[in-house]
Chains A and B, each alone.
Chain A
Amino acid sequence: MTTMTQTAPLVRVDGVTKRFGSGDKEMVALSGLNLEVREGEFLSLLGPSGCGKSTALNIMGGLLEATEGTVTFSGEQLTEPNRHIGMMFQQAVMFPWRTTLENVLLPVEIFGEKKKDFIPKAEELLEMVGIKDFRDSYPWQLSGGMQQRAALCRVLLHDPKLLLLDEPCGALDEFTRESMNQELLRLQDYAKSTAVLVTHNITEAVFMSDRVAVMSARPGRLVDIIEVPFDRPRRPDLQTTNDFIKLVAKARQMLELQ
């Protein structure tokens, strides 16, 4: 369903192959992946565990080098991590010796900027995700969901153009995951950034995304892309509608057909 009227994509993944190891131990994690991420969209990478989703995301974030193929970000070839790309992982990765606020301000220190310039913004973000009261608490005093919210604030502090989310709710329980996902959608919209979410949860992928890129089992390649037409903001009860259930069924079928 690609049309020629699209503006240039924010990210273009071009024939990306990733092999780990060499010789007998060589393992193809990703095989000829082609993908475009449009400016402002929410895209999910959906596939079974071990199919190379994280590998693909890490290559898009400049953390890993592709064995073959290229990644273009904002029109330029990406070879290393980029300030305008923010990453979130399955673990919140909060440093236990830092308070919530200090954790959120970590990028400021790394970038060599003045902390005090960013405190108001950090506090605003903490307030938006409802953990402002915990700004001086340490991560171990926070629940997993709260930690992940703080990690979200940290990644949004510098208004990344692209958010790369590697199962950020994967370690959370079902209820926390739902509200965290809502938070993600709200803040992605607020920050007007583009998001790529890696998940192996079909419902989550459909609920969150404008498009769902379905990947095959290893070696990972793109099976198809499902367009998700529902309006935003999306409310949890969307998940009980017929159209939603049909799309989920379609995605499931694609995953099982391979």
Chain B
Amino acid sequence: MAQIAVDSSPKKKNFLRSPYMLTIALLPIILAAWWLATTVTKSVPAILLPTPESVWIAFPRVLGADGFGDQVLRTLTEIAGGFALGASVGFFLGVLLSSSSRLRAAYLPFLSALEAIPTVILAPIIIAWIGFGIEGKILQAAIACFYAVFITTLSGLGLAEPNAVALMKSLRASKWQTMVKLRIPTALPVIFGGLQLGATTAIIGAIVSEFIGATGGLGYLMLRYRSSFDTAAYWVIIFLFLVIGLVVYLTIWYIEKRFVFWRRIEVTRPDLEKQ
């Protein structure tokens, strides 16, 4: 139901049965397997996969390194800036193309074909054009995430029920009114799916482009740790990306819950929706 999280009292009892427990239960298993493979049996060389202990020890070293905060901030700025830019352009183009079948016929194949160009190939070109700076990374992340938002917006806007469209028409609503009062709200659940997907690809876009060439950022740090064969530190940053991904997912999920409170049957978080 949409009355998610209205009632908090029975929540504690149910926590043991919530899907989080599955995740939490997996952690010791993964850790144990990791530990067995590296520390105990030494069957995987440390250069491929460091031991859990060494990663644990590397954490304070990496996080406490000089200027580490700046690097994190830089990457986060790239991701956020790229996502904001790409999602806005994607949404705008989705609205634009949904309102005209001629525009759709003309540009949809072209825009979809663009999406087939991998980030890795684009990155050197962008660097050549606008340099190693943060602007290029923002642009890269924007390009990476724009399509997901664009295509979900476009298809979501077509989901309004014929009866609802007829109602708007019978009220002599303008195209714009129908868009704002009916089509966009109807499309929101789908658009949020696109935003989730787009956020992930924005993260990937930013990192890949830092990998190809950058003067700062977490991807740049990873490259440096790799070239000094500091695998443990490298893994620390992988975990950081995991955390960033999780925070971004939860943030968008939280915003979605507020905007799309009226959506009932759907699935995003069945654990919370049941109560």
- Residues of A whose CB lies within 8 Å of any CB of B are 58, 61-63, 80-83, 85-87, 89-91, 93, 95-97, 106-107, 109-111, 138, 140
Contact = CB atoms under 8 A, between A and B. Distances in A.
B161 A93 contact: yes
A45 to B, nearest CB: 17
22 contacts: A58-B166, A62-B170, A63-B166, A81-B170, A83-B172, A85-B170, A86-B170, A87-B166, A89-B163, A91-B161, A93-B161, A95-B164, A95-B185, A96-B263, A97-B260, A106-B181, A107-B171, A109-B181, A110-B168, A110-B177, A110-B181, A140-B262
B61 interface: no
Interface in B7-28: none
Across the A-B interface, the 4 shortest Cβ-Cβ residue pairs: A96-B262, A87-B170, A110-B171, A97-B262
Contact of A81 (B169, B181, B185): B169
A87 B262 contact: no
A95 B178 CA distance: 12
B2 interface: yes
Given A93-B163, A110-B173, 15 more contacts: A63-B166, A80-B172, A81-B169, A81-B170, A81-B171, A85-B170, A87-B170, A89-B163, A95-B164, A95-B182, A95-B185, A96-B263, A97-B260, A106-B181, A110-B171
**Which of B168, B170, B172, B177: most chain A CB closer than 10 A?**
B170
B268 to A, nearest CB: 16
B264 interface: yes
Contacts, number: 56
Interface of A is mostly: loop
Contacts of B185: 95, 97
A33 to B, nearest CB: 20
Nearest to A112: B177
Contact of A63 (B170, B173, B263): B170
Given A80-B172, A83-B172, A110-B173, A93 B2 contact: no
Contacts of A140: 2, 262, 264
Interface of B: 2, 161, 163-164, 166-173, 177, 181-182, 185, 260-264
A62 B171 CA distance: 11
Nearest to B174: A110
Contacts of B264: 96, 140
Contact of A89 (B166, B173, B182, B262): B166
A85 B262 CA distance: 30
Contacts of A86: 170
Contacts of A91: 161, 163
Contacts of B177: 109-110
A200 to B, nearest CB: 18
Nearest to A91: B163
A96 B260 CA distance: 10
A123 to B, nearest CB: 20
Given A91-B161, A93-B163, A95-B164, A61 B262 contact: no
Nearest to B168: A110
A196 B2 CA distance: 37
A110 B264 CA distance: 27
